[in-house]
Chain A
Amino acid sequence: MTVKEYNNAVREFGDHVFRFILRSIKDSHRADDIVQDTYEKLWRCVTEIEYGAVKSWLFSTAYNRMIDVIRKDSRLVDVEYYDDSTLYTEENGNDLNEVLHRALEKLPAVQRSVILLRDYEGYNYREIGEITGLSEAQVKTYIFRGRVALRNYLVKTSVWQ
């Protein structure tokens, strides 16, 4: 990848990677740091990466960096068992997208990430598996369970009757 292609990758995918990380951890400063670290890492091995594969590489590197940060901060909830007793609160907002994003924050980190990759970036299950290091079956399971959780949130918070 040339310097020009690297700069294209910054301009074209920087916002995408940032909002994916931001929506995953809800901390703009940390999200900024993670994306900066990701591009710094890309710059160090810029000649070894093809431009066609750089988007997946960016998301994968940023995702792994985010998991490291979350684990370091001991903020990672158990991805398999999580307490949903605090999941539902009364929703007053009418904007479905806004409510969905609030519901997304209450999902386990892995479910949140795969749903974001699916909805924001339109990746297929195999690509999401490559980015997150999960199998395709795991990706499907996480996405479907995440959708069910989002729907239940909408129903139980009276957004949907």
Chain B
Amino acid sequence: MAITEDMDFPRLTPPDDRMPSGRRLFRRPAELTDEQFDLMAAAWAEGALSGEAVEELESVMTASTDRRDRAGSFRSIRLVPYNENWPGMKSAVRLSPALTAFRRSVIPTLLAVAAMVIMIIYGPAGAKLKTINSRGAVNGPAMTVAEIQVYAPIIAVERIPEPNILPVRPVQTPAAEENASQGHLAEGMEKPAEITGLVRVEPIALARGHATASSVAPELIPAIISVNIRDIQPDMTLQEEKNWMFRSISFLAGAVTGKEKKIDGYMIANGCITGINNVFGWDMELDRISNKSGEPVAVTFSSSLLSFTKPVNKTTP
């Protein structure tokens, strides 16, 4: 077989591989050069030869053992792939549009819920904590905490090392300061309402009824007296704290939706609480109380741990 010139890519054909000219139009198999034979052998090993070409090559191989071995060597030239994995495969996998939308809504909702929980726990609502369980109490009864109405900014917090003395001392009230210096704190603890509206103190370990400071488990006392609320800015009023909370919610809502919306604090809070109930199986409720004209006047929150009612201030969101 004569190897003809590749018209598609003529330079691929070597210069000595032209068709013979003149009277020797056809080349005999035995006249194949090594390079020509190798090309044919490579094609033969690939199974790409057929008809006369196969017969021609086999006749050459029969005539020469060296060329038979040479042709046979092409059969073993096969690349076996290594086990190489694509490192970016995971990033190329796509989620379905529905799943993407689900993830884009659920994750921001959970973040908002977490933010809401944090604000409830550490914000002004935390000061409304009514009761807590005291499993470490020595004498059995649950420790009670008095509710102290707060309308003025925080003035000072002072730590007292004695374990059976209240760790908080309001300094702006002369009467209270006098009572504290004379060791009459027990009376103050029994009548927390008397200091209502004067100063804001830490909501801890004030006894009500028969509970006293001594009923607190000794190992809990250091933790109790270490409670500190100095992190809150002293000049931040309760109203400013509420405004801060709603600004935070507004910022979160804006970050999630990407556009400005009119803020409905009740809707946001109710959505968060519903989300928490669904996720954790809790039973918290947030109700809006409206007047006859339908305008909201108060919001009531209730759960097994905490319940409070706050009037709605129309001047602030």
In the complex, A120→B94 CA distance in Å?
A: 27
In the complex, A144→B85 CA distance in Å?
A: 29
Q: Which of A40, A145, A150 contacts B12 (CB 8 A)?
A: A145
Complex contact A147–B45 (CB within 8 A): yes
Q: List 25 A-B contacts (CB under 8 A).
A: A7-B93, A10-B93, A11-B93, A14-B89, A15-B89, A18-B84, A19-B84, A32-B86, A35-B86, A80-B12, A97-B80, A101-B79, A119-B78, A120-B79, A137-B9, A140-B43, A141-B12, A143-B42, A144-B43, A147-B42, A147-B45, A147-B46, A150-B77, A151-B38, A160-B73
* B15-53 contact mask (Cβ, 8 Å, vs A): 1 or 0: 000000000000000000001001100110110100000
Assess whether B76 is interfacial by the CB under 8 Å rule.
yes
A100-B94 in contact given A140-B48, A144-B43 (Cβ < 8 Å): no
Q: How many residues in A have their beta carbons less than 8 Å from beta carbons of B?
A: 47
Assess whether B162 is interfacial by the CB under 8 Å rule.
no
The residues of A with any CB-CB pair to B shorter than 8 Å are 3-4, 6-7, 10-11, 14-15, 17-19, 22, 28, 32, 35-36, 39-40, 43, 80-81, 96-97, 100-101, 104, 115-116, 118-120, 125, 135, 137-138, 140-145, 147-148, 150-151, 154, 160
Complex contact B48–A15 (CB within 8 A): no
A10-B42 in contact given A100-B79, A141-B6, A141-B9 (Cβ < 8 Å): no
In the complex, A6→B8 CA distance in Å?
A: 37
Nearest chain B CB to A86's CB is how many angstroms away? 21
Nearest chain B CB to A147's CB is how many angstroms away? 4
Interface of B, secondary structure class, is: loop
In the complex, A147→B89 CA distance in Å?
A: 32
In the complex, A81→B81 CA distance in Å?
A: 27
Complex contact B94–A43 (CB within 8 A): yes
Complex contact A120–B48 (CB within 8 A): no
Nearest chain B CB to A161's CB is how many angstroms away? 11
B97: chain A residues at CB < 8 Å are: 3
Q: Kindly identify, within residues 1 to 15 of chain B, every residue whose CB is under 8 Å from any CB belonging to chain A.
A: 6, 8-9, 11-12
Closest Cβ neighbor of B95 among chain A residues = A3
7 new A-B contacts at CB < 8 Å, known A19-B81, A43-B94, A135-B8: A11-B93, A18-B84, A35-B92, A125-B48, A148-B39, A151-B74, A151-B77
Nearest chain A CB to B99's CB is how many angstroms away? 9
A3: chain B residues at CB < 8 Å are: 94-97
Q: Which of B42, B43, B77 contacts A100 (CB 8 A)?
A: B77
Assess whether B304 is interfacial by the CB under 8 Å rule.
no
Complex contact B79–A97 (CB within 8 A): yes
Closest Cβ neighbor of B45 among chain A residues = A147
Q: Kindly identify, within residues 183 to 238 of chain B, every residue whose CB is under 8 Å from any CB belonging to chain A.
A: none
In the complex, A26→B23 CA distance in Å?
A: 51
Assess whether B88 is interfacial by the CB under 8 Å rule.
yes
Nearest 3 interchain pairs by C-beta: A18-B86, A147-B42, A119-B79
B43: chain A residues at CB < 8 Å are: 140, 144
Assess whether B82 is interfacial by the CB under 8 Å rule.
yes
Assess whether B258 is interfacial by the CB under 8 Å rule.
no
Assess whether B65 is interfacial by the CB under 8 Å rule.
no
Nearest chain A CB to B11's CB is how many angstroms away? 5
B8: chain A residues at CB < 8 Å are: 135, 137-138
Q: Which of A137, A142, A147 contacts B77 (CB 8 A)?
A: A147
Nearest chain B CB to A140's CB is how many angstroms away? 6
Assess whether B87 is interfacial by the CB under 8 Å rule.
yes
Complex contact B77–A144 (CB within 8 A): no
Nearest chain B CB to A135's CB is how many angstroms away? 5
